[in-house]
Structure formats: structure tokens, C-alpha cells
């Protein structure tokens, strides 16, 4: 059992006009085996939460804490967080020219598992994982994310999720830019990962569409840098019907 515990987290970003507060007191616990959905309007800070957990250097944590199984995550470097079992599937995965998917994946898996997988076993494992996500094996030879369509990038993120097997997975707008078929394939990949590992999952999304494929246990509404309401899966249906308006107009001071 693992737990990611976020307590009264405040974070800011440096802008041309000085520091700007984005997270204003986020408190959230994600336990193994549970899937939390964070829903919120654009600009509410929900993607920032994902980046702050992963340790993106653009953001500064001004107060609060994040721990994974009691260990201070904020004291860890980005790669230490990954090796400790945190994974962020990014909304906009980055292109790295000249680095093949195969070499990148093997390097990442080596870092995550602490030793290089045997080459032949590894190729078999990688090819099976790719087939599960309906990715052609020629993907392995392509440069990391370079020239990938939106759907291809998201599949590669979920491929990594399955191979790296983190304790806690954070999926940032994984549904954006996907057609219905791709959304189904990617969601099935997430579900396979959840069942196989029993990991905790934090699903960040603007729309309820992906929640038809990945059922959340808990739904949070995010607005103005914090969680303003928490409920069960039915909360997503209310948001689908009524939109975010009632959460964005009623600001608690």
C-alpha cells in the first residue's frame, strides 16, 4: 500500500510581472487502488498541481507538503521522484530528436527497475506492451515523440506507464486530442495498469468523456488553485450537466 499525501500546498510561478500564486492550499490523499479525478475549468491550476508533484522547475512551492509513504517528495529531484514511484503522463509530451523510442524506454526502465532488463526479454516485453496499445512495432525505431500525432504521443505515455509501473500515476489531460477509438485504447491501457498494479491514480481532466472508460472512485472539483468540492462519480455527472459555473462564480475568500 502506498499513499501520496498532499497537505495545504501553495505554489507559484515566476512571470514577467513577478510571482503569481497558482496553487492556493491543495489538500489531497491518494491511496493505492483508488482513482481520483480532478476536474476543473481551464486555468484553474489543475495541470500545475501535476507539474508541482513531478517537480517541474518552473514552479516554486511556497508552503505545504507532499509525501509519498511518509517520505518528503518536495526534497527530491525530478528523477528521484520518478524512481520513488511517481509518474506523470503529460498533456504535451516533449520531442527529443535522435533518441529512439526503444533506447529511451530501455533507459527509463533501467532507471526505474535499478538494473537493465535482459535485451531479448526486454524486446519481447516492449513489443507485447506496444501491441496491447495497438501501436505498430515500427514505433520503437522512431525518434521520441518527433512527428507523432496527438494520439500517438498519448499512447506512448500510457505505454511508459505500463512499463514503468509506478506506485502513483498522474494523468494530465490524457484524453485531450484523442478521437473516440484512441480514447478507448488509451483508457483500456490505464485500466490494465490499474488492475495489474493496484496503483493509485490521479486523473486530471476538463471533460467527463474519459470517465466513461475509466471509472473514478472520487471526483474533485478544482477551481482557483484548490479543491472546492469532493464527491463520488455522480459529481462528474452534475458537472457534465451544469458545467463549472457554480464553482467558478462562488469564490470563497
- The least CB distance from residue 98 to another protein, in Å, is 3
- Residues 163 to 192: which contact another protein by CB under 8 A? 164
Cα 145 to chain centroid, rounded: 17
Select 144 or 219, whichever has its Cβ closest to another protein. 144
Q: How far is the CB of 79 from another protein (least distance, A)?
A: 4
Question: Helix or strand or coil: residue 91?
Answer: coil
From residue 56 to residue 75, what is the string marking binding to another protein with x (rule CB under 8 A)?
xx------------------
Nearest to 89 by CA among 233, 237, 219, 205: 205
Closer residue to another protein in complex, CB, 83/246:
83
Helix, strand, coil distribution of the chain in percent, nearest 5: 40, 30, 30
Query: 166-188 burial, b if ≥16 CB within 10 A, otherwise e?
Result: bbbbbbbbbbbebeeebbebbbb
Q: Which of 75, 78, 131, 196 binds another protein (CB under 8 A)?
A: 78
Least distance to another protein from the beta carbon of 77, Å?
A: 7
What's the burial of 248, exposed, middle or buried (CB within 10 Å: 0-12/13-18/19+)? Answer: middle
Residue 92 cell numbers, joined: 504535451
CA gyration radius for the chain? 18
Indicate whether 197 belongs to the interface with another protein (CB under 8 A).
no
Nearer of residues 29 and 100 to another protein, judged by Cβ: 100
Is residue 106 within the footprint of another protein (CB under 8 A)? yes
Rule CB under 8 A: is residue 99 a binding residue for another protein?
yes
**Least separation in angstroms between CB 215 and another protein:** 27
Tell me which of 4, 54, 199, 236 binds another protein, using CB under 8 A.
Answer: 54
Q: Which of 160, 174, 205, 223 binds another protein (CB under 8 A)?
A: 160
Binding of residue 18 to another protein (CB under 8 A): no
Give the E-state strand segments of the chain in sequence order. 3-15, 18-31, 35-39, 59-68, 71-72, 86-89, 96-100, 143-144, 168-172, 200-205, 218-223, 226-231
The site for another protein (CB under 8 A) is made up of 54-57, 77-79, 81-83, 87-88, 90, 93-100, 102-104, 106-108, 111-112, 119, 123, 140, 143-144, 160, 164
Amino acid at each position: 500500500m502506498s499513499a501520496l499525501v498532499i497537505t495545504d500546498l501553495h505554489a507559484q510561478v515566476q512571470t514577467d510581472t513577478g510571482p503569481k500564486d497558482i496553487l492556493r492550499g491543495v489538500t489531497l490523499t491518494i491511496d493505492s487502488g483508488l482513482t481520483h479525478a480532478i476536474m476543473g475549468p481551464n486555468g484553474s491550476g489543475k495541470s500545475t498541481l501535476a507539474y508541482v508533484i513531478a517537480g517541474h522547475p518552473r514552479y516554486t512551492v511556497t508552503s505545504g507538503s507532499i509525501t509519498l509513504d511518509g517520505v518528503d517528495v518536495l526534497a527530491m529531484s525530478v528523477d528521484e521522484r520518478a524512481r520513488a514511484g511517481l509518474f506523470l503522463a503529460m498533456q504535451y509530451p516533449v520531442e527529443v530528436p535522435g533518441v529512439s523510442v526503444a533506447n529511451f524506454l530501455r533507459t527509463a526502465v533501467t532507471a526505474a527497475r535499478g538494473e537493465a532488463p535482459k535485451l531479448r526479454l526486454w524486446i519481447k516485453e516492449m513489443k507485447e506492451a506496444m501491441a496491447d496499445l495497438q501501436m505498430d512495432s515500427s514505433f520503437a525505431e522512431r525518434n521520441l515523440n518527433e512527428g507523432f500525432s496527438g494520439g500517438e504521443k498519448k499512447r506512448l505515455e500510457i505505454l511508459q506507464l505500463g512499463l514503468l509501473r509506478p506506485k502513483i500515476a498522474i494523468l494530465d489531460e490524457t484524453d485531450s486530442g484523442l478521437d473516440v477509438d484512441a480514447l478507448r485504447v488509451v483508457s483500456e491501457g490505464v485500466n490494465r495498469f490499474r488492475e495489474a498494479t493496484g496503483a493509485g491514480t490521479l486523473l486530471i481532466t476538463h471533460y467527463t468523456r474519459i470517465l466513461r472508460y475509466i471509472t473514478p472512485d472520487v471526483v474533485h472539483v478544482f477551481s482557483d488553485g484548490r479543491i472546492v468540492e469532493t464527491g463520488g462519480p455522480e459529481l462528474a455527472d452534475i458537472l457534465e450537466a451544469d458545467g463549472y459555473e457554480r464553482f467558478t462564480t462562488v469564490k470563497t475568500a
